[in-house]
């Protein structure tokens, strides 16, 4: 049994292996940037296979218009009937303000058992959805209502499942403010249905709440059930990465590159002016990659001498970040450890950003921007061997031969690009190959290419769909 600093027993932690890699030694000057790749491998050795369901609380929020009831009619009862015993859950429907539709009465939470699941599945058959009238309150209202509910449920894993068809008002200004208030309190999985939603606010929700956003055209109930069951593989819901730096380091930032790309918000620990804490969420078995960036002043440091610029700590595992100030006139090695680790992380991030920007530009009809960005993404993908990115680009454009790999955008149905944008922005390094194509729907009778569910013309041959 292990104990925390107060002497209380602490549940078993997953096995953590931490590796720190730098490509090059920095040049000695003020505001020198030092980048390190943190590779974290997590094994479930010594911890239970599944987190007990009693330690999970899930809010299922249904932000869907009445006209799209068919998208959730069968999925919601199936999700509720599949909930594990003893999980805490609540279901929110649409007002225009979010309203709790289950459990009914004064109770804010239901605890799943056979009878509770049966009652909940029956009640959601008449779930209130958006109707004509006042415009719904926006994503910020859903996040705020979920935060209020989850604040009263002190369990290990607190999670929001948001199902949306985009019928909420955008609520951009309030959304940022509300997401600031939710920082570190719960995680989120966004499921987009229908064809009228915008990718950007959904990606913002997923990034800020340490979650994922994805489009589901068919099998919504199965997708949500699998997402809830994956929560039980979260052995450590919140495990900070702490970075202790030497006094000459003036700035510290940490970006998660995979599996979910986003910048982590760090804070200085009280009374410890050189120790930063970056909260992370949903640790389960597998690999995580981070890019740690330090801005340091050389000052009077010796040249060509191994110096420790930081100590990275994850749980009980610690690894130093060391580098040498490069001698004047000495060229940097191609890769410090022969791996190009930091360079690879940055190239992967640039590839994902270029892919997303290119798809957004294509959706907005900006052909020149789309071709330039998708061409950059294609060249990086070819260099990195990331074939799925090339497959995505080929669904909307023709790619020329290396090394230039000029991209020529075809006439595409803008409504079919949303799912690709979500994939590029939410999980760019984990692409099931069969899910990156256009939104499922009819196929062209002339060339058999798949088309978006709202498409009128084939994205491959341009002919009108019949």
Q: Strand pairing of 317-323 and 307-314?
A: antiparallel
| pLDDT, tens digit (0-9, with 9 covering 90-100), for 146-173 | 999 999 898 889 999 999 988 876 555 6
| pLDDT, tens digit (0-9, with 9 covering 90-100), for 28-48 | 988 899 999 999 998 766 555
Chain CA centroid to CA 118, Å: 32
Q: What proportions of the chain, in percent to the nearest 5, are helix, strand and coil?
A: 30, 30, 40
- Poorest-pLDDT segment among 75-89, 230-244, 333-347: 333-347
Q: Report the chain's mean pLDDT, rounded to a whole number.
A: 83
288-321 burial, b at 16+ Cβ within 10 Å, e below that, comes to: bbbbbebbbebeeeeeeeebebbbbbbbeeebeb
Tell me the domains of the chain and their CATH numbers: 11-44+237-336 (2.60.40.3670), 53-231 (3.40.50.410), 343-435 (1.20.120.1690)
| pLDDT, tens digit (0-9, with 9 covering 90-100), for 338-383 | 346 898 889 988 998 999 999 999 999 999 999 999 999 999 999 9
- Poorest-pLDDT segment among 74-83, 124-133, 266-275, 376-385: 124-133
Q: Strand pairing of 56-63 and 88-93?
A: parallel
Which residues have C-beta within 8 Å of that of residue 70, sequence separation ≥ 6?
none
| pLDDT, tens digit (0-9, with 9 covering 90-100), for 387-402 | 889 999 999 999 998 8
Question: Is pTM beyond 0.85 here?
Answer: no
Judged by phi (left if over 0) then psi (alpha if -120 to 50, else beta), residue 171 lies in: left
């Amino acid at each position: 049994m292990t104990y925390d600093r107060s002497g209380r027993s602490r549940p078993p932690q997953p096995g953590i292996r931490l590796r720190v890699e730098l490509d090059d030694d920095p040049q000695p000057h003020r505001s020198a940037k030092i980048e390190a790749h943190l590779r974290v491998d997590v094994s479930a050795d010594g911890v239970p296979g599944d987190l007990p369901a009693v330690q999970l609380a899930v809010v299922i929020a249904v932000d869907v218009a009445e006209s799209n009831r068919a998208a959730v009619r069968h999925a919601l009862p199936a999700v509720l009937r599949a909930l594990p015993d003893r999980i805490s859950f609540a279901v929110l429907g649409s007002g225009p303000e979010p309203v709790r539709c289950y459990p009914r009465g004064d109770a804010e939470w239901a605890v799943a058992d056979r009878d509770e699941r049966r009652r909940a599945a029956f009640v959601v058959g008449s779930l209130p959805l958006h109707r004509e009238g006042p415009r719904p309150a926006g994503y910020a209202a859903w996040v705020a209502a979920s935060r209020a509910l989850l604040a009263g449920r002190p369990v290990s894993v607190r999670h929001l499942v948001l199902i949306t068809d985009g019928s909420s008002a955008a609520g951009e200004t309030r959304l940022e403010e509300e997401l600031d208030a939710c920082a570190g309190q719960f995680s989120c999985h966004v499921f987009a249905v229908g064809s009228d939603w915008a990718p950007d606010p959904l990606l913002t929700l997923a990034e800020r709440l340490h979650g994922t956003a994805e489009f589901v055209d068919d099998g919504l109930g199965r997708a949500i059930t699998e997402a809830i069951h994956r929560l039980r593989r979260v052995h450590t819901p919140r495990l900070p990465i702490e970075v202790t730096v030497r006094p000459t380091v003036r700035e510290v930032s940490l970006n998660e590159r995979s599996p979910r790309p986003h910048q982590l918000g760090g804070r200085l620990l009280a009374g410890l002016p050189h120790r930063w804490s970056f909260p992370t969420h949903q640790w389960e078995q597998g690999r995580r990659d981070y890019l740690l960036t330090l801005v340091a002043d050389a000052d009077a440091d010796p040249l060509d001498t191994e110096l420790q610029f930081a100590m990275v700590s994850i749980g009980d595992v610690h690894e130093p970040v060391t580098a040498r100030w490069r001698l004047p006139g000495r060229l940097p090695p191609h890769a410090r450890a022969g791996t190009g680790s930091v360079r690879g992380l940055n190239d992967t991030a640039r590839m994902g950003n270029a892919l997303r920007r290119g798809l957004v530009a294509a959706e907005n009809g900006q052909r020149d921007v789309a071709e330039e960005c998708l061409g950059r993404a294609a060249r990086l993908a070819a260099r990195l061997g990331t074939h799925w990115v090339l497959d995505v680009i080929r669904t909307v454009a023709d790619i020329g031969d290396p090394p230039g790999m000029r991209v020529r955008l075809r006439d595409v149905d803008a409504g079919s690009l949303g799912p690709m944008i979500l994939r590029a922005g939410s999980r760019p390094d984990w692409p099931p190959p069969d899910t990156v194509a256009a939104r499922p729907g009819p196929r062209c009778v002339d060339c058999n290419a798949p088309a978006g569910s709202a498409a009128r013309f084939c994205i491959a041959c341009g002919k009108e769909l019949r």
